[in-house]
Amino acid sequence: MERADGAAGPTPDLDLDQVFDRVDEHREELIQRLVAYAGQPSVSSTGEGIAEAAELACNVKVLLDGEEELGSPNLPAFVEGHKDLLGADLAIWSDGPVHESGRWCLVFGVPRDRHLRAARPGRQPAGPRPGAGLARPRTPRRARRPWLLRTAGGMARLVAWPTFTVNGLRGGYGGPGTQTVLPNEAVAKCDVRLVPDQRTSDVLAKLEAHVARHAPGVELVRGGHMEPSRTPIDSRFTEPLRQAMVAALGEEPLLVPPLGGSLPAYVFTDILGLPTFGVPFANADQTNHAPNENLEIERFIGGIKAAASMLAHLGAMRPL
Protein backbone atom coordinates (compact mmCIF):
# COMPACT_ATOMS: atom_id res chain seq x y z
CA MET A 1 0.00 0.00 0.00
CA GLU A 2 1.62 3.27 -1.11
CA ARG A 3 0.72 6.43 0.73
CA ALA A 4 0.66 9.88 -0.80
CA ASP A 5 3.74 10.84 1.26
CA GLY A 6 5.74 8.04 -0.36
CA ALA A 7 5.69 5.57 2.53
CA ALA A 8 5.09 2.00 1.43
CA GLY A 9 4.91 -1.48 2.88
CA PRO A 10 2.49 -4.31 3.58
CA THR A 11 2.22 -3.51 7.30
CA PRO A 12 -0.25 -0.77 8.32
CA ASP A 13 1.40 2.03 10.28
CA LEU A 14 -0.27 3.50 13.33
CA ASP A 15 -0.34 7.28 13.27
CA LEU A 16 -1.80 8.60 16.51
CA ASP A 17 -5.46 7.55 16.40
CA GLN A 18 -5.60 6.33 12.78
CA VAL A 19 -4.54 3.31 10.76
CA PHE A 20 -3.35 4.01 7.22
CA ASP A 21 -3.70 1.08 4.85
CA ARG A 22 -6.23 -0.51 2.51
CA VAL A 23 -8.50 -0.71 5.51
CA ASP A 24 -11.95 -0.49 3.95
CA GLU A 25 -13.65 -2.96 1.60
CA HIS A 26 -15.31 -4.92 4.39
CA ARG A 27 -12.15 -6.18 6.07
CA GLU A 28 -12.11 -4.01 9.16
CA GLU A 29 -15.90 -4.28 9.39
CA LEU A 30 -15.66 -8.07 9.23
CA ILE A 31 -13.08 -7.99 12.04
CA GLN A 32 -15.30 -5.67 14.06
CA ARG A 33 -18.21 -8.09 13.85
CA LEU A 34 -16.14 -11.17 14.57
CA VAL A 35 -14.68 -9.50 17.65
CA ALA A 36 -18.18 -8.43 18.70
CA TYR A 37 -19.54 -11.95 18.23
CA ALA A 38 -16.63 -13.75 19.92
CA GLY A 39 -18.22 -14.81 23.19
CA GLN A 40 -20.93 -12.13 22.66
CA PRO A 41 -19.36 -9.04 24.19
CA SER A 42 -22.04 -7.01 25.93
CA VAL A 43 -22.07 -3.21 26.06
CA SER A 44 -23.26 -1.08 28.96
CA SER A 45 -26.05 1.44 28.47
CA THR A 46 -23.44 4.18 28.31
CA GLY A 47 -21.45 2.32 25.67
CA GLU A 48 -18.33 2.42 27.85
CA GLY A 49 -17.65 -1.16 28.81
CA ILE A 50 -17.22 -4.33 26.77
CA ALA A 51 -17.69 -7.47 28.84
CA GLU A 52 -17.81 -11.04 27.59
CA ALA A 53 -21.18 -12.77 27.94
CA ALA A 54 -21.71 -16.50 28.23
CA GLU A 55 -23.25 -17.08 24.80
CA LEU A 56 -24.59 -15.33 21.72
CA ALA A 57 -27.86 -13.49 22.17
CA CYS A 58 -29.15 -14.98 18.90
CA ASN A 59 -27.94 -17.16 16.05
CA VAL A 60 -25.53 -15.53 13.59
CA LYS A 61 -24.53 -16.49 10.05
CA VAL A 62 -21.58 -14.69 8.43
CA LEU A 63 -21.34 -14.34 4.65
CA LEU A 64 -18.23 -12.69 3.19
CA ASP A 65 -18.28 -11.59 -0.46
CA GLY A 66 -14.76 -11.31 -1.84
CA GLU A 67 -15.86 -10.16 -5.29
CA GLU A 68 -17.83 -7.01 -4.49
CA GLU A 69 -15.39 -4.78 -6.39
CA LEU A 70 -15.95 -6.98 -9.46
CA GLY A 71 -19.73 -6.67 -9.25
CA SER A 72 -20.27 -9.84 -7.16
CA PRO A 73 -20.75 -12.05 -10.25
CA ASN A 74 -21.03 -15.31 -8.31
CA LEU A 75 -22.92 -14.16 -5.23
CA PRO A 76 -26.51 -14.31 -6.60
CA ALA A 77 -26.13 -17.92 -7.79
CA PHE A 78 -24.53 -18.91 -4.48
CA VAL A 79 -27.33 -17.36 -2.44
CA GLU A 80 -29.99 -18.83 -4.75
CA GLY A 81 -28.47 -22.30 -4.31
CA HIS A 82 -28.14 -22.06 -0.51
CA LYS A 83 -31.43 -20.53 0.62
CA ASP A 84 -31.88 -23.09 3.38
CA LEU A 85 -28.37 -22.52 4.71
CA LEU A 86 -28.74 -18.72 4.61
CA GLY A 87 -32.27 -18.49 6.00
CA ALA A 88 -32.59 -15.79 8.66
CA ASP A 89 -34.87 -13.10 10.11
CA LEU A 90 -32.84 -10.16 8.81
CA ALA A 91 -29.49 -9.26 7.25
CA ILE A 92 -27.01 -6.57 8.29
CA TRP A 93 -24.14 -5.37 6.10
CA SER A 94 -21.34 -2.90 6.84
CA ASP A 95 -19.36 -1.01 4.23
CA GLY A 96 -18.04 2.50 3.74
CA PRO A 97 -18.06 5.67 5.84
CA VAL A 98 -20.52 7.36 8.17
CA HIS A 99 -22.29 10.58 7.18
CA GLU A 100 -20.06 13.52 6.24
CA SER A 101 -21.16 15.26 9.45
CA GLY A 102 -19.67 12.40 11.47
CA ARG A 103 -23.08 10.99 12.47
CA TRP A 104 -23.51 7.23 12.51
CA CYS A 105 -26.08 5.89 10.02
CA LEU A 106 -28.66 3.15 9.72
CA VAL A 107 -29.19 2.54 5.99
CA PHE A 108 -32.31 0.99 4.40
CA GLY A 109 -31.36 0.59 0.75
CA VAL A 110 -28.87 0.94 -2.09
CA PRO A 111 -29.42 1.69 -5.79
CA ARG A 112 -28.61 -0.68 -8.62
CA ASP A 113 -25.50 -0.33 -10.74
CA ARG A 114 -25.14 -1.04 -14.46
CA HIS A 115 -21.79 -0.84 -16.24
CA LEU A 116 -21.49 0.05 -19.93
CA ARG A 117 -18.78 0.54 -22.51
CA ALA A 118 -19.47 2.73 -25.52
CA ALA A 119 -16.92 2.47 -28.35
CA ARG A 120 -16.71 3.96 -31.82
CA PRO A 121 -14.37 1.74 -33.86
CA GLY A 122 -12.85 2.57 -37.21
CA ARG A 123 -11.48 5.77 -38.73
CA GLN A 124 -11.90 9.01 -36.85
CA PRO A 125 -14.11 11.45 -38.83
CA ALA A 126 -12.54 14.66 -40.09
CA GLY A 127 -14.56 16.84 -37.76
CA PRO A 128 -16.99 16.61 -34.87
CA ARG A 129 -20.54 15.56 -35.55
CA PRO A 130 -23.30 17.07 -33.42
CA GLY A 131 -24.96 14.39 -31.34
CA ALA A 132 -22.31 11.80 -32.09
CA GLY A 133 -21.71 10.96 -28.43
CA LEU A 134 -23.94 9.95 -25.57
CA ALA A 135 -26.28 12.81 -24.77
CA ARG A 136 -26.72 13.98 -21.21
CA PRO A 137 -29.70 12.22 -19.61
CA ARG A 138 -32.77 14.38 -19.44
CA THR A 139 -33.46 15.87 -16.02
CA PRO A 140 -36.62 14.41 -14.46
CA ARG A 141 -39.56 16.82 -14.42
CA ARG A 142 -39.62 16.98 -10.64
CA ALA A 143 -35.94 17.95 -10.59
CA ARG A 144 -36.80 21.24 -12.29
CA ARG A 145 -39.04 22.34 -9.42
CA PRO A 146 -37.18 25.03 -7.46
CA TRP A 147 -38.77 24.05 -4.14
CA LEU A 148 -37.38 20.53 -4.45
CA LEU A 149 -33.90 21.79 -5.17
CA ARG A 150 -34.07 24.05 -2.10
CA THR A 151 -35.45 21.43 0.25
CA ALA A 152 -33.74 18.28 -1.00
CA GLY A 153 -30.32 19.74 -1.75
CA GLY A 154 -27.24 17.96 -3.05
CA MET A 155 -27.54 14.94 -0.76
CA ALA A 156 -30.92 13.97 -2.21
CA ARG A 157 -29.54 14.37 -5.72
CA LEU A 158 -26.66 12.09 -4.80
CA VAL A 159 -28.51 9.26 -3.07
CA ALA A 160 -32.12 9.36 -4.28
CA TRP A 161 -31.98 10.19 -7.99
CA PRO A 162 -30.71 8.10 -10.92
CA THR A 163 -27.27 8.97 -12.24
CA PHE A 164 -25.41 8.50 -15.51
CA THR A 165 -21.65 8.73 -14.95
CA VAL A 166 -18.84 8.78 -17.48
CA ASN A 167 -16.05 7.00 -15.59
CA GLY A 168 -13.39 7.59 -18.22
CA LEU A 169 -12.67 8.49 -21.84
CA ARG A 170 -10.01 6.99 -24.07
CA GLY A 171 -8.97 7.81 -27.62
CA GLY A 172 -6.01 9.11 -29.57
CA TYR A 173 -2.53 9.64 -28.22
CA GLY A 174 -1.90 10.77 -24.64
CA GLY A 175 1.79 10.02 -24.17
CA PRO A 176 4.80 12.31 -24.06
CA GLY A 177 5.58 14.58 -26.95
CA THR A 178 3.35 15.12 -29.96
CA GLN A 179 1.95 12.64 -32.44
CA THR A 180 -0.37 14.02 -35.10
CA VAL A 181 -2.27 10.79 -35.67
CA LEU A 182 -5.95 10.09 -36.16
CA PRO A 183 -7.21 7.65 -33.50
CA ASN A 184 -8.99 4.57 -34.79
CA GLU A 185 -11.21 4.19 -31.73
CA ALA A 186 -12.87 6.32 -29.05
CA VAL A 187 -14.16 4.67 -25.87
CA ALA A 188 -16.32 5.88 -22.99
CA LYS A 189 -16.65 3.75 -19.85
CA CYS A 190 -19.89 4.54 -18.04
CA ASP A 191 -22.10 3.39 -15.22
CA VAL A 192 -25.78 3.99 -14.52
CA ARG A 193 -27.16 4.01 -11.00
CA LEU A 194 -30.89 3.46 -10.82
CA VAL A 195 -33.25 3.83 -7.91
CA PRO A 196 -35.86 1.28 -6.76
CA ASP A 197 -38.81 0.74 -9.12
CA GLN A 198 -36.57 1.28 -12.15
CA ARG A 199 -35.72 -1.84 -14.11
CA THR A 200 -32.28 -2.50 -15.56
CA SER A 201 -33.64 -4.02 -18.76
CA ASP A 202 -35.98 -1.09 -19.42
CA VAL A 203 -33.34 1.62 -18.90
CA LEU A 204 -30.75 -0.30 -20.89
CA ALA A 205 -33.17 -0.66 -23.80
CA LYS A 206 -33.74 3.11 -23.77
CA LEU A 207 -30.00 3.76 -23.75
CA GLU A 208 -29.44 1.40 -26.67
CA ALA A 209 -32.24 3.06 -28.64
CA HIS A 210 -30.79 6.51 -27.88
CA VAL A 211 -27.31 5.52 -29.04
CA ALA A 212 -28.66 3.80 -32.16
CA ARG A 213 -30.57 6.96 -33.08
CA HIS A 214 -27.90 9.58 -32.41
CA ALA A 215 -24.67 7.62 -32.95
CA PRO A 216 -25.34 4.51 -35.05
CA GLY A 217 -21.61 3.82 -35.38
CA VAL A 218 -21.18 3.44 -31.61
CA GLU A 219 -21.15 -0.04 -30.09
CA LEU A 220 -22.73 -0.26 -26.65
CA VAL A 221 -21.30 -3.17 -24.66
CA ARG A 222 -23.15 -4.35 -21.56
CA GLY A 223 -21.18 -4.93 -18.38
CA GLY A 224 -22.04 -6.27 -14.96
CA HIS A 225 -24.96 -5.05 -12.91
CA MET A 226 -26.49 -5.08 -9.44
CA GLU A 227 -30.18 -4.81 -8.69
CA PRO A 228 -31.46 -2.33 -6.07
CA SER A 229 -32.24 -3.10 -2.47
CA ARG A 230 -34.86 -1.45 -0.29
CA THR A 231 -36.20 -2.19 3.18
CA PRO A 232 -39.19 -0.29 4.64
CA ILE A 233 -38.10 2.19 7.25
CA ASP A 234 -40.99 1.06 9.49
CA SER A 235 -39.62 -2.50 9.73
CA ARG A 236 -40.05 -4.08 13.15
CA PHE A 237 -36.24 -4.34 13.38
CA THR A 238 -35.65 -0.60 12.92
CA GLU A 239 -36.37 0.44 16.50
CA PRO A 240 -34.25 -2.28 18.19
CA LEU A 241 -31.33 -1.46 15.89
CA ARG A 242 -31.73 2.26 16.53
CA GLN A 243 -31.84 1.71 20.30
CA ALA A 244 -28.79 -0.52 20.08
CA MET A 245 -26.77 2.14 18.29
CA VAL A 246 -27.82 4.80 20.79
CA ALA A 247 -26.84 2.55 23.71
CA ALA A 248 -23.45 1.72 22.22
CA LEU A 249 -22.51 5.01 20.59
CA GLY A 250 -24.32 7.60 22.70
CA GLU A 251 -26.09 9.37 19.85
CA GLU A 252 -29.06 8.98 17.54
CA PRO A 253 -28.11 7.51 14.15
CA LEU A 254 -29.26 9.09 10.92
CA LEU A 255 -31.92 6.97 9.20
CA VAL A 256 -30.88 6.90 5.52
CA PRO A 257 -33.46 5.47 3.04
CA PRO A 258 -30.97 4.96 0.16
CA LEU A 259 -27.18 4.99 0.26
CA GLY A 260 -25.32 6.77 -2.54
CA GLY A 261 -23.41 3.70 -3.65
CA SER A 262 -23.87 0.21 -5.02
CA LEU A 263 -23.75 -3.06 -3.11
CA PRO A 264 -25.21 -6.53 -3.80
CA ALA A 265 -27.66 -6.25 -0.88
CA TYR A 266 -30.47 -7.27 -3.24
CA VAL A 267 -29.46 -10.91 -2.78
CA PHE A 268 -30.87 -10.61 0.75
CA THR A 269 -33.97 -8.51 0.02
CA ASP A 270 -34.96 -10.08 -3.32
CA ILE A 271 -33.62 -13.65 -3.27
CA LEU A 272 -33.92 -14.42 0.46
CA GLY A 273 -36.74 -11.97 1.17
CA LEU A 274 -35.04 -10.52 4.26
CA PRO A 275 -35.27 -6.99 5.64
CA THR A 276 -31.72 -5.73 5.20
CA PHE A 277 -29.91 -2.92 7.02
CA GLY A 278 -26.58 -1.21 6.52
CA VAL A 279 -24.44 0.17 9.32
CA PRO A 280 -21.29 1.89 7.96
CA PHE A 281 -18.54 2.05 10.56
CA ALA A 282 -15.67 3.96 8.89
CA ASN A 283 -14.91 7.66 9.39
CA ALA A 284 -16.30 10.14 6.87
CA ASP A 285 -12.84 11.19 5.62
CA GLN A 286 -11.45 7.69 5.20
CA THR A 287 -10.69 8.42 1.48
CA ASN A 288 -11.56 4.88 0.46
CA HIS A 289 -10.25 3.80 -2.96
CA ALA A 290 -7.60 6.55 -2.74
CA PRO A 291 -4.12 7.23 -1.31
CA ASN A 292 -3.98 7.59 2.46
CA GLU A 293 -7.03 5.41 2.99
CA ASN A 294 -7.47 5.31 6.74
CA LEU A 295 -9.59 4.22 9.66
CA GLU A 296 -9.90 6.04 12.97
CA ILE A 297 -9.34 3.74 15.92
CA GLU A 298 -12.29 5.34 17.71
CA ARG A 299 -14.55 4.31 14.81
CA PHE A 300 -13.13 0.80 14.87
CA ILE A 301 -13.92 0.42 18.59
CA GLY A 302 -17.32 2.06 18.06
CA GLY A 303 -18.13 -0.48 15.38
CA ILE A 304 -17.38 -3.35 17.76
CA LYS A 305 -19.59 -1.83 20.44
CA ALA A 306 -22.43 -1.19 17.98
CA ALA A 307 -22.27 -4.73 16.54
CA ALA A 308 -22.38 -6.26 20.01
CA SER A 309 -25.21 -3.98 21.12
CA MET A 310 -27.27 -4.75 18.01
CA LEU A 311 -26.91 -8.48 18.60
CA ALA A 312 -28.03 -8.08 22.23
CA HIS A 313 -31.06 -5.94 21.31
CA LEU A 314 -32.13 -8.28 18.52
CA GLY A 315 -31.79 -11.26 20.87
CA ALA A 316 -34.14 -9.56 23.33
CA MET A 317 -36.95 -9.26 20.77
CA ARG A 318 -40.00 -11.44 21.11
CA PRO A 319 -40.43 -13.98 18.30
CA LEU A 320 -43.38 -13.43 15.96
Higher per-residue pLDDT: 40 or 223: 223
Mean pLDDT within 193-214:
84
Do 106 and 233 belong together in one domain?
yes
Domain at 211, CATH number: 3.30.70.360
Above pLDDT 90, what percent of the chain? Answer: 24
Residue 55 covered by a domain: yes
Q: For the residues of the chain, what is the DSSP string, one character each?
A: ---TTS---SS-EEETTEEESS-TTTHHHHHHHHHHHTT-EEE-TTS--EEE-SS-SS-------TTGGGT-TTHHHHHHHTHHHH--S-EEE--SB--TTS--EEE-EE-EEEEEEEEEESPPPSS--TT-SPPPPPPPGGGG-HHHHHHHHHHHHHHHS-EEEEEEEEES--SSS------SEEEEEEEEEE-TT--HHHHHHHHHHHHHHH-TT-EEEEEEEE--EE--TT-TTHHHHHHHHHHHHSSPPEEESS-SS--STHIIIIIS---EEE---B-TT--TTSTT-EEEHHHHHHHHHHHHHHHHHHHTSPP-
Query: What confidence score (pLDDT) does residue 30 get?
Result: 77
Residue 6 covered by a domain: no
Residue 320 covered by a domain: no
Query: What confidence score (pLDDT) does residue 159 get?
Result: 62
Query: What confidence score (pLDDT) does residue 94 get?
Result: 86
Going by pLDDT thresholds of 50, 70 and 90, the confidence category of residue 200 is confident
Residue 200 covered by a domain: yes
Do 121 and 156 belong together in one domain?
yes
Instruction: Write down the mean pLDDT value for the chain.
Output: 75
Do 17 and 77 belong together in one domain?
yes
Do 254 and 290 belong together in one domain?
yes
Domain at 311, CATH number: 3.40.630.10
Domain's final residue, options 199, 226, 253 = 226
Mean pLDDT within 306-320:
88
Mean pLDDT within 287-299:
80
Higher per-residue pLDDT: 76 or 181: 76
What confidence tens digit (pLDDT) does each residue in 58-86 have? Answer: 888 989 888 877 778 899 999 999 999 99
Do 120 and 218 belong together in one domain?
yes
Do 222 and 121 belong together in one domain?
yes
Above pLDDT 70, what percent of the chain? Answer: 71
Do 273 and 182 belong together in one domain?
no
Do 39 and 178 belong together in one domain?
no
Instruction: Using the Cα atoms of residue 92, residue 96, residue 102 and residue 107 in order, give the sign of their dihedral.
Output: negative
What confidence tens digit (pLDDT) does each residue in 254-268 have? Answer: 998 877 667 888 899
Residue 251 covered by a domain: yes
Residue 72 covered by a domain: yes
Domain residues for the domain of 180 are 112-226
Domain's final residue, options 226, 258, 291 = 226
Domain's final residue, options 226, 261, 290 = 226
Going by pLDDT thresholds of 50, 70 and 90, the confidence category of residue 152 is very low
Do 200 and 235 belong together in one domain?
no
Query: What confidence score (pLDDT) does residue 36 get?
Result: 81
Do 285 and 307 belong together in one domain?
yes
Residue 211 covered by a domain: yes
Residue 203 covered by a domain: yes
Task: Give the whole-angstrom CA distance, residue 2 versus residue 228.
Answer: 34
Asked if pLDDT for residue 129 goes beyond 60, the answer is no
Do 235 and 291 belong together in one domain?
yes
- Domain count within the chain: 2
Do 135 and 241 belong together in one domain?
no
